[in-house]
Amino acid sequence: MSERTSRECLEYLCATVCTMYAGEFLRRPTSHNVALLYQAHEERHHLPGMLGSLDCTHFVWKMCPTELRGQYMRGDHQYPTVMLEAVASQDLWIWHAFCGSAGSKNNINVLQQSPLFLTQRNGTAPNCPFQVNNHLYKRGYYLTDGINPSWSVFVKSFPYPHTPNEKKFKRQHEAARKDVERAFGVLKATWGILNRPMRSKTVKKIRSVVYTCLILHNMIIKDDGRAIAPVHIQDPPVEPVFDDTAYSELIDEETHWRLKHDLIEHLRRLDLPHLEVSSDDE
């Protein structure tokens, strides 16, 4: 088979897989999925209301056109890259994927153009509140690193913890946030096309390949019986209506700090043996 024929076959395969299976294996969490994610993450990480971990990764773009190299290169990368923003749960299932951003951007720039919170803003997101430390919160949250903003739906760790409770929360947060790092590692180790420089000449084709690998990745998790929410139960259809107050609720820093304080208090009350602070940390 010639190289051109093999590339065309790959493009047809990726387009077919995305068309047929993206609705199930790259779906947004429904109310049924969110309830299972809440339960699984609280049992595993002891963090109630956790939806997953959010992070970005880079794919090397070998055939990047010369006129785009400056846009897709960054100082800490030797070659042009294309970014992927993803949310992964404890079972390594990818619940959100946004691929195609230029490699010169950081996580904040990618978040500003990502459709991660589109359903919250148009009123079609499932209504799944949770309670922690006797406080009710309207939306679940994602674990993120320090570069992300202090929004009500993000929980970040302490860069310099001082008290024993802050140190305990930092260790638990970092242990739970490794879920998305593990998902990226398994994804690139399983599909060699993602671990080698991309030979496609357009971002659209790269995006199609990445989404196909994500779909197959979730398929394997479901087939192995490791999925937290293997059954796709759709919510009743809701008419999209733009909500002006949703954005202000998402970026509320006061809710962010109150949620972090409640989670610290929740972990303190649990008094788990593997979370005890050693004398060295004190």
Measured in degrees and rounded to the nearest 5, phi and psi for residue 169 equal: -65, -40
Report the DSSP beta bridge partners of residue 98.
85
Q: Alpha helices of 163-277 — where are they, by DSSP H?
A: 164-190, 192-195, 203-223, 244-250, 253-270
Q: How far apart are CA 81 and CA 63, in angstroms?
A: 10
Q: Is 44 left (phi over 0), alpha (psi -120 to 50) or beta?
A: alpha
Q: At what angle do helices 164-190 and 31-45 cross, to 10 degrees?
A: 120
pLDDT reported for residue 91: 96
Mean pLDDT by 10 residues, the chain (282 residues): 89 95 94 96 94 96 91 88 96 96 92 93 91 93 93 92 90 94 96 92 94 97 95 90 88 94 91 48 36
Q: For 210-227, b where at least 16 C-beta lie within 10 A, e where not — what string? A: bbbbbbbbbeebbeeeeb
User: Do the beta carbons of residue 190 and residue 78 sit within 8 Å?
Assistant: no
- For Cα atoms 248, 250, 256, give the angle at the middle one, nearest 5 degrees: 110
Tokens 């919510």 identify what position?
A: 235
pTM of the predicted structure, to 2 decimals:
0.91
pLDDT of residue 182: 96
Please tell me the predicted confidence (pLDDT) of residue 75. 82
